[in-house]
Structure 1
């Protein structure tokens, strides 16, 4: 199946990591979020429910829980990241069909994640996808400033010499696609939030990455 006309010009494919390169149903992020809540509760002395509410508030206001903890509590990022990413990856299983689809995509392929380098390395190795990508832009590269901050997009584009007008970005978070669209990228929302999404900055939507690639790039 040929590329949709709106993607025919793309020569750089950018992928979020968590819940984009693997299904939301794997629930790896649920494990990480549980560790985040425990960290926030211990750091602030709040109850688990209140810590969860604060965690989500920081996520909404700052882009990540970590950014909020750094801004308001002076948390050292390495301590937080090492703790919350120490979760089982037993639910992640390599998908040879998906990997073959990604490998067949013409042009460069870059991972752009709000996770740190050890987490990205661990996830990609578990999925057997490491060799599929030409580069990874992670949170340390962005000085711990997360998506959707425009500066982080600019740093990623500078580091990997990305022309946004010939790039496409896959994400599971609609808010992270807004700056991508404003910069000129084509945007593809995958995962549960794609169902019913009407954000004008989202160009394509699908239930998961594999479904999109099968339907449009297969």
Structure 2
């Protein structure tokens, strides 16, 4: 079946890009605590660190480089695929609940939607399945697709635009990270910030109806 937005129209349809964790669902509750434990265990095993030191190293690299992995690759020549596999086991998405409000809201969008994530495709697929919104997304652009240079590195955004053959000016990007949105705006994308600490179930679905056509959300 053809996507609902295909057909005759006077201008190209918009393209919607969605971060995954803490944008489509509350990862602070359903994902990040477990992921951080997996990261700490990995760092403790690889470098012989105490838990507190492992947590400090994770936060240091995340703040400085945008992802913990970027810091590990830069300073420790860490195998990225081993690390990503270690922190994204199948059980990570097990507590993510279905979101029927999100499902209906995504169905109202007037253009194609893609996932743009610093995680891995397998994790994104499991989360979308748990949310019951897989059908709304035409693709998943993950960290490997960006040659391991994730958001907010501009390389990731340009690689995504090339992959899907779209212009930045047609894109509207949703993310919980201001740094990630800043890069998107510099390229000409429209953006909406999803506040990570004030997030509520169905938050995206509570955006005003006008967003479904022009999505002139907060920049």
Q: Is 2:84 aligned against 1:81?
A: yes
The structural deviation recorded for 1:25 is 5.0
- Change in Cα spacing, 1:24 to 1:120, as seen in structure 2 (3 Å) is closer
d(CA) in 1 for partners of 2:83 and 2:127? 18
Q: Is 2:52 aligned against 1:49?
A: yes
d(CA) in 2 for partners of 1:14 and 1:141? 15
The answer on whether the counterparts of 1:172 and 1:191 sit within 8 Å (CA) in structure 2 is yes
The answer on whether the counterparts of 2:114 and 2:138 sit within 8 Å (CA) in structure 1 is yes
Q: Is 2:104 aligned against 1:109?
A: no
d(CA) in 1 for partners of 2:160 and 2:176? 18
Match of 1:172 in 2: 176
Question: Unmatched 5+ residue regions in structure 1?
Answer: 1-8, 196-206
- One of 14, 22, 38 as aligned partner of 1:35: 38
TM-score, normalising length from structure 2?
0.83
The structural deviation recorded for 1:212 is 2.4
1:62-101 matches, within 5 Å, as 62-86=65-89, 87-101=91-105
- One of 159, 172, 177 as aligned partner of 2:163: 159
What value does the CA root-mean-square deviation take over the aligned residues? 2.3
Question: Unmatched 5+ residue regions in structure 2?
Answer: 1-11, 214-219
d(CA) in 1 for partners of 2:145 and 2:139? 12
Which SS does the other structure have where 1:114 is aligned? Answer: coil
More helix by share: 1
d(CA) in 2 for partners of 1:113 and 1:188? 15
1:127-138 matches, within 5 Å, as 127-138=131-142
Deviates more, 1:86-95 or 1:61-70: 86-95
TM-score, normalising length from structure 1?
0.83
The structural deviation recorded for 1:110 is 0.9
- Change in Cα spacing, 1:92 to 1:27, as seen in structure 2 (3 Å) is closer
d(CA) in 2 for partners of 1:90 and 1:80? 20
Which SS does the other structure have where 1:139 is aligned? Answer: coil
d(CA) in 1 for partners of 2:208 and 2:149? 30
Q: How many residues align?
A: 200
The structural deviation recorded for 1:192 is 2.9
The structural deviation recorded for 1:91 is 2.4
d(CA) in 1 for partners of 2:197 and 2:172? 18
